[in-house]
Amino acid sequence: MVLLQPEDKKAIGNELEGLKEAVKLVVHIPANKNEPNENLKSLVMEIAEMDERISCEILMEGEDEEVDYILERRPALVVLDKDGSDRGVIFYGMPGGNTLKSLISLMLLVSTGETGMKDEVMERISKMGPDSLQVLVTPATSGCNNTIDIANRIAYVNKAITSSTIDLTEFPEIAQQYHVIGLPMTVGNDDLKFTGVYDLGEVLQILEERISDAE
C-alpha cells in the first residue's frame, strides 16, 4: 500500500538530506490487526526506503516486555538514535498531515542533535523536574506541528521529561478524558492544561509557573 504521493516524497526527501547519524523508526502495534495499523506500517517502511540512514522495525504487542510496560496505548511510534536509545518521545496513532511534519522534524533532531535552542534556554529546560507532556491533536489541527516540536525538543533536552503526541481521531476517549474543547491542547502531568499555539518561551514560562505554584 502506497500512502505518500510523489510530491510528498519529494518534499520529505529534501528534508531528510539533513540527516547526519542513523535513526530507527520502531512501530508498536496491538495484537489485533486493523487498517490503521497496516497504514502505519506502510508509512514507516516507505519513509525508511527513502534514505539508507533510516531503518525500521515492527513490534507486535508482547514481543518486548520492557516497552510493553512503558507504552500506554497502541499503535505507537518511536524514533531511536544511532545507539538504539529513544529520547522520551512517542507518537500515538498515525502521523499524517501536520503530525507527519513533526515526525520528520524529530528524526532530524535525533539524527543531528541540533535543537536550535540557545544555551540559556537549554539550561532552563535541564533544571526542570520530571514531567509528562501530552500534545492532543488531529492531523488537520492548524499549528499543531509547532506545538509538537516544542514538546519534543523539551523532552530531548531533559531526560526527566517525556513528550507524547496523541491523535484524537484514533483515540477519541482521550478527548473525553481531558474535556477537550480546542486544539492543540497540551497536558502536563495531568494537572496542567493549556490550549492553543505558543512559542517556546511561552511554553517554558507556563511550565515554570506551574512548578513555582507547587513549591
How many domains in the chain? 2
Dump pLDDT digits (tens) for 1-30. Answer: 457 889 999 999 999 999 999 999 999 988
The grid coordinates listed for 169 are: 481521531
Q: Do 13 and 49 lie in a common domain? A: yes
Could you give phi then psi for residue 178, rounded to 5 degrees? Answer: -105, 10
Give percent of the chain with pLDDT exceeding 90.
75
Residue 185 placed within a domain: yes
Q: Do 98 and 124 lie in a common domain? A: no
Cα(93)–Cα(110) distance, integer angstroms = 20
Is 90 exceeded by the pLDDT of residue 190?
Answer: no
Residue 14 placed within a domain: yes
Q: Do 89 and 157 lie in a common domain? A: no
Q: Do 123 and 152 lie in a common domain? A: yes
Cα(145)–Cα(98) distance, integer angstroms = 5
Residue 111 placed within a domain: no
- Among 37, 35, 134, 19, smallest CA distance to 88 is for 134
Per-residue model confidence (pLDDT) at position 37:
81
Cα(31)–Cα(27) distance, integer angstroms = 13
DSSP characters for 101-156? Answer: HHHHHHHHHHHH------HHHHHHHHT---EEEEEEE-TT-TTHHHHHHHHHHHHH
Per-residue model confidence (pLDDT) at position 195:
95
Task: Give residue 51's domain range.
Answer: 6-102
Residue 110 placed within a domain: no
Dump pLDDT digits (tens) for 52-98. Answer: 999 999 988 766 655 554 688 899 999 999 999 988 999 999 998 88
Per-residue model confidence (pLDDT) at position 102:
96
CATH number at residue 15: 3.40.30.10
Per-residue model confidence (pLDDT) at position 210:
75
Confidence of residue 214 (pLDDT cuts 50, 70, 90): very low
